[in-house]
Amino acid sequence: MEKQHTPHPRIEERTKYGPHTTKGEHTGLNGKIAILITSMVSTMWCAYIFAALALISLPAAIEGGTSTLISWIAQTFLQLVLLSVIMVGQKVAAAASDKQALQTYKDAEALLAIQDEVHRLIKENNEMTEEIRNSLKK
């Protein structure tokens, strides 16, 4: 009584869809526009441009006194420059997260393949053991 080994359906399902990464998350026109704008703003070059833009109003902030200067630092410089710098950091973190997701996916694929092979071997071993028992009974 030989049984055919059937791999778990999740193995085929995982192969079909692949790993989930940030690249696969944006859909539609709005998503594409948002990604385009985010990609442009989340560069260090954009941070440098924003810093230069903020520095244009620095002389007027200095002339306005301490409270104007503090307001300029908090509301102009930090918001303009840190926005891009934080977004660059998030882009780097997302790329690292995608690499980790891909590695985890590959590891899971390998473990699923090994587990499937172990399952097949156990079935084969059980069948052979049953054959030995049956032959000893005769």
Residue 16 included in any domain? no
13 found inside a domain: no
Give the residue from 8, 16, 4 showing the smallest Cα distance to 113.
8
pLDDT at position 34? 84
The verdict on residue 5 lying in a domain is: no
User: In the chain, how many domains are there?
Assistant: 1
Domain range for 128 is 24-137
Per-residue confidence (pLDDT) for residue 122, from 0 to 100: 92
| Spans of the chain below 50 pLDDT | 1
CB of 85 closer than 8 Å to CB of 99? no
Question: What single string gives the DSSP state of each residue in 48-67?
Answer: HHHHHHHHHTHHHHHHT-HH
In a domain, 2, yes or no: no
- 7 assigned to some structural domain: no
Count of alpha carbons within 13 Å of 29, Cβ hemisphere only? 0
Residue 93 lies in a domain: yes
Q: What is the pLDDT of residues 38-60, one digit of tens each?
A: 888 889 999 999 999 999 999 99
Read off the amino acid at residue 87.
Answer: M
